[in-house]
Homo-oligomer: A and B are copies of this chain.
Amino acid sequence: MKSSIIAVSEKEKARSFLRKIKGRVPAFVCVLGNTETAKIPGLSAAGANPDITDYTPPADAEFLFYEKCRCIPGVPITPDGIPTPALITRASLKLAGIPVFIAVGGLRIKPQVPYIDLGGLPGKDIRSGDAVENAEEIFHRGEVFGRSLASVADYLVVGESVAGGTTTALAVMLAMGIDAKGKVSSSMSGNPHGLKESVVGEGMKNAGVAQGDLKDKPMDAVSKFGDPMMPAFAGIACGASDEVPVLLAGGTQMGAVLSVVKGMKKDALKNVAVGTTRWIAHDKTSDLGGIVRQVGRVPVLAANIDFSASKHDGLRAYERGMVKEGVGCGGATIAALLKRREIRIENVIRETENIYNRLRGGIR
């Protein structure tokens, strides 16, 4: 195993998962969803301001194909001007020639790329206790699509883009009895745990649900407190994992996805791993390992991307705890490193910098 991929937990299983996928030909799927929850001030940095978070997922998807966005000028940035992790994902997939498929769980703004529609609607504010319509249907369509893609690809890498997604993840996990308080990550360097917990608390109160009440009811938990990415992502993972390994590319949101996967089809956990970044694996303000362990013995891997030496402040900011993960950037990097021996982590870093250079002007 290359030291550019860190086995974070379940190390034996992690190595065995890596052996299964090394040198094979993956497909990358990015699952999009939105939640009105993201518009609560102070909650998400996935957008220059709360109202623009609707555009973040479609803009990320467009960037993966065209290296530029179509629905917004420039690229998604945080309020401080730090660019979307889609830059890293694009760099990795491009270097390794890994194809991209975009799956839409539910969105207000549709991406201007070919995308797989799974029949969902935009997600609502979880404080209503009624966040996702049609969760079961989205899950089943995801399952069908995942199975189809798995019959042609050797394995899947599935990422996500949902602004506000760690708050919905916290809510779904708490409802399903996973102790995730203080453990979800944030795209901001100061993690607003208190605000997230109060938003989640309001939703649970309004829905009359206490912690753990929906332990074995993943679709209920998603419908009340989730976002439409979750049933789509979980469905794709469940459908594909019968046939091929699935790398769940993301941070602490993967705890919610894994909980849904486990609730819908326990056996699927045997053929999945979580792939994230070092920034998440070493994050002091969150605890991905502590979350995943509660769901099951699923290995966690991290791409050892390091931007400390970058000449761009927008990338060095990742080392200060900004952004950290998203658009499956960690998993995509792992997949690129494993696909061809010639691709090293330095190449991914350099290609990300090249992309950044080409974008200047679009990024502050």
Contact = CB atoms under 8 A, between A and B. Distances in A.
Interface of A: 25, 27, 65, 97-101, 103-104, 110, 112-119, 141-142, 144-145, 147-149, 151-153
A144 B113 contact: yes
A321 B145 CA distance: 35
Nearest to A114: B145
A65 B144 contact: yes
Given A112-B119, A115-B117, 11 more contacts: A25-B151, A25-B152, A27-B148, A65-B144, A99-B148, A104-B117, A114-B119, A114-B145, A114-B148, A115-B116, A117-B117
A89 to B, nearest CB: 15
Nearest to A232: B114
Contacts of A116: 114-117
Given A99-B148, A99-B152, A100-B148, A141 B117 contact: no
B114 A142 contact: yes
Contact of A152 (B104, B118, B152): B152
A104 B100 CA distance: 18
A101 B148 contact: yes
Contact of A117 (B65, B114, B148): B114
A140 to B, nearest CB: 9
A99 B25 contact: no
Contact of A141 (B97, B113, B141): B113
Contacts of A117: 104, 110, 114-117
A60 to B, nearest CB: 16
Among A27, A65, A114, A118, the most chain B Cβ lie within 10 Å of the Cβ of: A114
A114 B27 contact: no
A308 to B, nearest CB: 33
A149 B112 CA distance: 18
Contacts of A114: 103, 116-119, 141-142, 144-145, 148
A103 to B, nearest CB: 8
A99 B149 contact: yes
Nearest to A236: B114
B145 A97 contact: no
Contacts of A153: 152
Contact of A97 (B99, B101, B118, B151): B151
Among A98, A100, A117, the most chain B Cβ lie within 10 Å of the Cβ of: A117
Contacts of A142: 114
Among A110, A116, A141, the most chain B Cβ lie within 10 Å of the Cβ of: A116
Contacts of A65: 144
Contacts of A103: 114
A151 B152 CA distance: 9
Contacts of A110: 117
A302 to B, nearest CB: 26
Contacts of A152: 25, 27, 99, 149, 152-153
Contacts of A100: 148
6 contacts: A113-B141, A114-B116, A114-B117, A114-B141, A114-B144, A116-B117
A142 B114 CA distance: 7
Contacts of A149: 99, 152
Contacts of A115: 116-117
Contact of A147 (B99, B144, B145): B99
Nearest to A110: B117
A52 B113 CA distance: 30
Nearest to A119: B112
